[in-house]
Chain A
Amino acid sequence: MQEVKLKVFRYDPSRDGRHRYETYVVPVGRDTTVLSALLYVKERLDQSLSIRFSCRMATCGSCGMMINGVPRLACYTLVSQLKSKTIVVQPLNNFPIIKDLVADFTDFFGKHRDMKPYLMRLDTYTQEKSNTFYPQTDEELVRYIQFAYCIKCGLCYAACPVVATDRKFPGPQALSQLYRYYSDSRDEGGAERLRLVDDNHGVLRCHFAGSCSQVCPKGVDPALAIQLLRRELVFSRVAKV
């Protein structure tokens, strides 16, 4: 059993509103994840630590945090893979902080909701009231299925340099979900969806730094979705900017 030092960001708004770092020494094995290490701290060393987690298997998207300066899922990151004796854990960048490592996802989900993340058909009666189904070929499926694997963990939003300063930018997650619905052959939203991001703080603010795709734990590749969305916007002559 080896030991590593976990340097954890602590912030409690009900106390004095200032943040500090506390260092804990945690025994780890070959397969210990950062989440296990944090839970060890919470159980044995400091019960006041607040973290958000759920499935422990990289499918719910709850445990996103900055680990050694890069946004990662705590349950998906092995301590041994980080190759450092001190691990610095901070809450996700670009999110307001509620307490310790827990970030406030209200804006994030709000921007996602603004993209109308549901299938839109012109004939809403048939869509909602009848037993109809919408067949799709494999080619049509492959055009969007990659982007449908998004678990809304917020790592891409934390990595994006544009989100860091531009508060009106929807963020890579919302834009890639917009493209996911736009390119779904069952969806009839079309130009109406494109108009949602056709302004000065929409798709055109993405400069393809690629950090979103770099950190995505599910291989969703939001950068690709955004560039394809930009192509649709420009070449379908809907764009007004």
Chain B
Amino acid sequence: MLIHYITGIVILVAGGIHLWTVFLTAPVEENLRFDNTPFAVLNVYRNWILAGSLEILLLAVAFHGFNGLRVILLELHQGSAWTKAVNLVVSLVAVAVAVYGTRTILIAFQIT
């Protein structure tokens, strides 16, 4: 599918922003060691632009990654039962992950 290429480019941009924020909230060693003030990472995502880009990253990675898995599984074996099963399971897992991730972003955005 062609959306695979487009989501790849989207991930390049949104992922760049994500890595930039993660490495810029605090000196990297302390930030990644998780023993910094508990809400430092959450603080960063409390504005619309960064939270929005995180959401876009979530949806793009969910699509790109699970579509890639779908392609690999469909190339492995052909047959109408297998194709339908793979399409169904992969879409359900992708949607579940995207919903759970969106919930995380919404909650992080609301914590005062």
Interface residues of B (CB under 8 A from A): 1-2, 71, 74-78
Asked if A165 contacts B77 (CB within 8 A), the reply is: yes
Contacts of A168 in B (CB 8 A): 78
Determine which of A162, A205, A239 lies in contact with B2 in the assembled complex, contact meaning CB atoms within 8 Å: A239
Q: How far is the CA of A226 from the CA of B90 in the complex (A)?
A: 28
Q: Which of B74, B75, B76, B78 has the most CB of A within 10 A?
A: B75
Contacts of B77 in A (CB 8 A): 165
* Interface class of chain A by DSSP: loop
Contacts of A204 in B (CB 8 A): 1-2
CB distance from B75 to the nearest CB of A (A): 5
| CB-nearest residue of chain B to A200 | B74
Interface residues of A (CB under 8 A from B): 162, 165-168, 200-201, 204-205, 234, 239, 241
Determine which of A162, A234, A241 lies in contact with B75 in the assembled complex, contact meaning CB atoms within 8 Å: A162
Asked if B78 contacts A241 (CB within 8 A), the reply is: no
Q: How far is the CA of A155 from the CA of B17 in the complex (A)?
A: 45
Contacts of A162 in B (CB 8 A): 75
Asked if B2 contacts A241 (CB within 8 A), the reply is: yes
Asked if A234 contacts B2 (CB within 8 A), the reply is: yes
| CB-nearest residue of chain A to B76 | A165
CB distance from B87 to the nearest CB of A (A): 11
| CB-nearest residue of chain B to A164 | B75
Asked if B74 contacts A167 (CB within 8 A), the reply is: no
Contacts of A167 in B (CB 8 A): 78
